[in-house]
Amino acid sequence: MGRNFFKFGAVSMALGLAVVLAAGFGGLSSNLNPLSITPAQAHGDVAPQPVDTTGIDPLGKEWKATNPYRGKDNKNFKKAVEIGAGGYNQNCARCHGLEAKSGGLAPDLRFLETDEDGDEWYVMRVREGMTQNGITKMPKFEGILSQEALWAIRTYIDSLPEDD
């Protein structure tokens, strides 16, 4: 009896593990076979998405030290916010949250200072990324997204209220 009891326990544990794994990887297939696990589906492409910056002034190759699109009086402001919103949602929201409201995975960008100090931190982070203990916490975006796209994203973030 002892040997059969352990076989039953081992089979039960294996079946339970298969069900747990199936739930973690997208659920059981329609035939309820716990060994038919479907892959998990992410909410969006994890590869950087291009940002069309048509409609805002080009900035050249030299990185600007401060946000060149900042301020409601700036002729590029409204279009930069629009472009930045799309760029943010495609490239930043998966970690920093929709409308920059972080769920805890990454910093809540609504609280980023909207002055030169905030710009300095932003430029360093988006250009160089962030690695901690050998783990990439944020990828480098320099050379992937244009300076115009990254400043438009910054303009969008600056336009968001800190509170709901």
Query: Burial code of 61-94, b = ≥16 C-beta within 10 A, e = fewer?
Result: eeeeeebbbbeeebebbebbbebbbbbbbbbbbb
Q: Specify the pLDDT at position 150.
A: 98
pLDDT tens for 58-95 read 999 999 999 999 999 999 999 999 999 999 999 999 99
Query: Which residues lie closer than 8 Å to 3 by C-beta, 6 or more apart?
Result: none
Q: Give tens-digit pLDDT for 94-145.
A: 999 999 998 888 999 999 999 999 999 999 999 999 999 999 999 999 999 9
Q: Which of 12-26, 110-124, 142-156 has the lowest mean pLDDT?
A: 12-26
Of 108, 125, 51, give the one whose Cα is nearest residue 85.
51
Question: Rounded to whole angstroms, how far apart are CA atoms 62 and 73?
Answer: 24
Q: Is the pLDDT of residue 164 over 90?
A: no
CA distance 55 to 80: 8
Domain 44-164 class, CATH top level? mainly alpha
The single-letter code of the amino acid at 113 is E
User: What local confidence, expressed as pLDDT, does residue 30 receive?
Assistant: 45
Considering only residues 19 and 52, tell me which one the structure prediction assigns the higher pLDDT: 52
Q: Is the pTM of this model over 0.85?
A: no
In the structure encoding, which two tokens stand for residue 67, read together?
């946000």
Q: Of all residues in the chain, what percent carry a pLDDT higher than 90? A: 63
Tokens standing for 117?
A: 């100090």
